[in-house]
């Protein structure tokens, strides 16, 4: 689940009331236009690595987090115990083996359920679960060595073993949630050629929310009504996108997994590149009369200043809606900001 630091009040808060124009009306998007002009100035990448958490905290910077802690952290003590790495492995194996993205809320629900269930399982159940996830290290080694057949065979073995556990205990929450995720994620949410499944669509919405947060330097969490409205609208808005673009969206759950992994591992210099890409993207996504060119600079205060201008010129919902409707410049911001290879690896275990 995304953990946010340096959060600030935002018009997209679910706590009601005011906010900037357009944020609370999903029917009014203030749709803008996009343009793209080259790479960011080199001075933006000259930031010192020493601009770490202290600088970010000092300047109140939006800081998403996708995985916290260390794999060796003990979540449930005992013999055997449950480590954070075991939970990571379960999530990664589920997503990779079934080629889906769980989504932040559903992933956190699965993690919480696994920790709670492991606490009450007997020793045999605990050992059986650990045997289920332990092969992940070997599977990644096979994949990185080029043995993709061995990697795929191992993933099939995981699917078979997991299915047996689901059949044996269908109401056990860590397994029931996987069944629900499969049913939910495989549904074609955005019709067209090719159709875009729910797991990829949800990943797209989460990714564009991240860019909105970086471009405005503040947390934005849409209301359920806003999220539902935009999801419906995108079924129509994205229908006319070229097949090649829709193909990239069809597999976007893979790209989103890569984005999250790269962001968590990135040094401050790399993160600043994506921050500025997001600022420039939003500055060009505004209605024509509000479009502007940000003044890119090397200091955190430069970024905070320009992101504040962006936030003052267009509401958070409008920004999110505009990015989600324009896949190509939005995808390009991720590619440039994090130097992503496209397409993302088909075998998702090779992403982390």
The answer to whether the CB of 92 falls within 8 A of the CB of 348 is yes
C-alpha to C-alpha distances, 340 to 35, 44, 319, 333, nearest whole angstrom: 21, 18, 23, 10
Within 169-306, strands assigned E span 188-190, 196-197
Q: Which among 117, 137, 107 is positioned nearest to 76, based on CA atoms?
A: 117
Determine the pLDDT at residue 5. 37
Spell out the residues 6+ positions from residue 215 whose beta carbon is closer than 8 angstroms to its own. 275, 278, 279, 281, 282, 283, 307, 310, 319
User: For residue 38, is the peptide bond before it cis, meaning its omega torsion is within 30 degrees of 0?
Assistant: no
* Other Cβ atoms within 10 Å of 87 Cβ, number: 24
Spell out the residues 6+ positions from residue 2 whose beta carbon is closer than 8 angstroms to its own. 64, 65, 66, 104, 206, 210
Determine the pLDDT at residue 342. 76
What are the structural domain ranges in the chain? 3-66+189-350, 74-185
Question: Which DSSP category does 71 fall into?
Answer: T
Q: How far does Cα 227 stand from its chain's mean position?
A: 15
- Distance (Å, whole) CA 215 – CA 62: 9
Query: What does DSSP say about strands 63-65 and 3-5: parallel, antiparallel, or unpaired?
Result: antiparallel
Query: Cα 63–218–279 angle (5° rounding)?
Result: 90
Beta-ladder partners of 188: 197
Give me the residue label for tokens 């449950």: 82
In this prediction the pTM is 0.83
What are the φ/ψ torsions at residue 121 (nearest 5 degrees)?
Answer: -65, 150
Determine the pLDDT at residue 60. 80
* Other Cβ atoms within 10 Å of 107 Cβ, number: 20
What token pair was written down for 351?
A: 């992403």
* Other Cβ atoms within 10 Å of 258 Cβ, number: 22
* Other Cβ atoms within 10 Å of 288 Cβ, number: 7
Determine the pLDDT at residue 59. 60
Q: What is the pLDDT along the chain (352 residues), one digit of tens a residue?
A: 333 333 333 333 333 333 333 333 333 344 444 443 344 443 443 443 344 444 444 468 999 999 989 999 999 999 999 999 999 999 999 999 999 999 999 999 999 999 999 999 999 999 999 999 999 999 999 999 999 999 999 999 999 999 999 998 888 999 999 999 999 998 999 999 999 999 999 999 999 999 999 999 999 999 999 999 999 999 999 999 999 999 999 999 999 999 999 999 999 999 999 999 999 999 999 999 999 999 999 999 999 999 999 999 999 999 999 999 999 999 999 999 999 887 788 999 999 8
- Distance (Å, whole) CA 65 – CA 106: 16
Determine the pLDDT at residue 75. 97
């Amino acid at each position: 689940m995304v953990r946010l630091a340096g959060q600030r009040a935002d018009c997209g808060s679910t706590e009601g009331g005011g906010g900037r124009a357009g944020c609370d009306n999903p029917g009014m998007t203030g749709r803008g236009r996009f343009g793209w002009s080259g790479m960011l100035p080199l001075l933006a990448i000259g930031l010192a690595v020493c601009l770490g958490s202290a600088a970010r905290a000092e300047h109140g910077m939006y800081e998403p987090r996708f995985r916290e802690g260390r794999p060796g952290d003990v979540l449930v003590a005992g013999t055997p115990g449950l480590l954070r790495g075991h939970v990571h492995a379960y999530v990664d194996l589920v997503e990779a083996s079934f080629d889906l993205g769980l989504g932040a809320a559903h992933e956190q629900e699965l993690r919480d359920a696994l920790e709670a269930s492991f606490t009450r399982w007997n020793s045999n159940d605990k050992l059986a679960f650990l045997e289920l996830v332990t092969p992940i290290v070997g599977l990644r080694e096979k994949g990185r060595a080029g043995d993709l057949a061995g990697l795929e065979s191992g993933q099939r073995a995981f699917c078979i073993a997991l299915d047996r556990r689901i059949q044996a205990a269908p109401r056990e929450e860590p397994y029931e949630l996987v069944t629900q995720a499969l049913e939910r994620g495989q549904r074609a949410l955005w019709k067209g050629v090719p159709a875009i499944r729910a797991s990829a669509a949800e990943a797209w919405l989460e990714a564009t929310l991240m860019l909105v947060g970086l471009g405005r330097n503040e947390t934005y969490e849409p209301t359920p009504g806003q999220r539902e409205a935009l999801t419906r609208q995108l079924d129509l808005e994205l229908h006319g996108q070229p097949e090649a673009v829709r193909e990239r969206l069809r597999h976007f759950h893979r790209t989103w997994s890569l984005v999250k992994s790269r962001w968590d591992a990135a040094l401050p210099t790399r993160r600043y590149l994506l921050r500025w890409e997001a600022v420039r993207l939003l500055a060009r996504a505004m209605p024509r009369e509000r479009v502007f060119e940000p003044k890119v600079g090397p200091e955190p205060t430069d970024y905070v200043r320009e992101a504040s201008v962006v936030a003052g010129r267009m509401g958070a919902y409008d920004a999110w809606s505009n990015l989600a409707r324009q896949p190509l410049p939005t995808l390009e911001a991720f590619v440039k900001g994090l130097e992503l290879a496209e397409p993302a690896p088909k075998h998702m275990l090779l992403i982390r």
